[in-house]
């Protein structure tokens, strides 16, 4: 019995370690998308209220850095880049707006944060001009959403496979012990003993693999052998799938064993 439980625990842990690889892929993909999004700069131009805008958006938790370009700096760049020295008599620094160059924090900026940023700027200065690579931003968010949805389907399919496989595995290991329990019954053993053993095994298989798997994973994370954190939804899926499979095995499949008949 102990050998049977040990074998099943190892199989369950192995399966969920394999499934966790999919979650780790999600982590690195999301990190890649977040890095690309954080590299998109937001340029905000305002003639009179640039300092007020800067003061307000500095308080937003998804802002990484804000660089202020004053009128003289913008003027020099325009003159040098477009060779406007001959037009310098007509173009004066005072005629230009000041510009803020905003970079966002990796992993904290998305569609809702963009709305919040725009709202804060427009609330301060309705005439402020906001420029950024909107096409790249939208494409990255769309690709990230599709990737996460695909991974969700893969994990859901993995959970269904795990439940079916675990139920078959439980039946297989219980069937292997039929001979022992037949002899036990004929020797005058209580028919309720096997049922108690099965329920006890179910509780062990329900919680022991989860405890060991989570301990191993966070041990690896603590000692920096891996750099990603399992999401809450993955842990919930792990707990639900294993508990469901063990309960179904106990209350539907196992009672049908011939050795449990009176």
Contact 246, 206 (CB under 8 A): yes
State which residues of the chain have pLDDT below 70: 1, 70-96, 178-186, 188-192, 194, 228-229, 253-262
Question: Taking the model in full, what pTM does it have?
Answer: 0.78
Q: Domain map of the chain by residue range? A: 2-33+142-260, 41-126
Q: What number of CA atoms fall less than 13 Å from residue 106's CA on the CB side?
A: 10
For residue 119, give Cα distances in angstroms to 66, 93, 124, 206, 207. Answer: 17, 28, 9, 49, 48
DSSP track, 26-83:
HHHHHHHHHHHHHT--EEEEESS-HHHHHHHHTTSTTEEEEEEEPHHHHHHHHHHHHT
In CATH terms, 41-126 corresponds, of 3.30.70, 3.40.1010, 3.90.930, 3.90.1200, to 3.30.70
Is the Cβ–Cβ distance between 25 and 229 less than 8 Å?
Answer: no
Please tell me the distance from the alpha carbon of residue 239 to that of residue 244, in angstroms, as a whole number: 8
**Spatial CA neighbour of 244 closest among 160, 185, 172:** 160
Q: Contact at 8 Å (CB) between 153 and 159?
A: no
pLDDT of residue 259: 47
């Amino acid at each position: 019995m102990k050998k049977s439980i040990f074998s099943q625990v190892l199989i369950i842990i192995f399966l969920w370690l394999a499934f966790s690889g999919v979650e780790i892929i999600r982590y690195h993909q999301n990190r890649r998308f977040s890095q690309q999004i954080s590299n998109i700069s937001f340029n905000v131009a305002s003639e009179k209220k640039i300092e007020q805008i800067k003061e307000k958006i500095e308080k937003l938790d998804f802002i990484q850095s804000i660089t202020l370009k004053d009128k003289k700096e913008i003027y020099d760049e325009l003159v040098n880049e477009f060779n406007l020295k001959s037009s310098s008599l007509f173009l004066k620094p005072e005629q230009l707006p000041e510009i803020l160059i905003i970079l966002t924090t990796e992993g904290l900026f998305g569609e809702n944060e963009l709305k919040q940023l725009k709202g804060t700027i427009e609330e301060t200065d309705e005439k402020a001009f906001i420029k950024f690579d909107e096409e790249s931003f939208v494409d990255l968010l769309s690709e990230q959403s599709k990737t996460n949805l695909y991974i969700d389907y893969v994990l859901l399919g993995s959970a269904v496979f795990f439940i079916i496989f675990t139920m078959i595995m439980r039946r297989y290991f219980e069937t292997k012990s039929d001979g022992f329990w037949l002899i036990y019954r004929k020797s005058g053993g209580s028919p309720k003993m096997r049922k108690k053993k099965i329920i006890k095994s179910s509780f062990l298989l329900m919680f022991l693999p989860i405890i060991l798997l989570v301990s191993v994973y966070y041990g690896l994370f603590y000692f920096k052998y891996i750099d990603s954190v399992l999401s809450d939804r993955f842990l919930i899926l792990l707990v639900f799938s294993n508990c469901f499979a063990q309960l179904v095995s106990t209350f539907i499949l196992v009672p049908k064993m011939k050795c449990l008949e009176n």
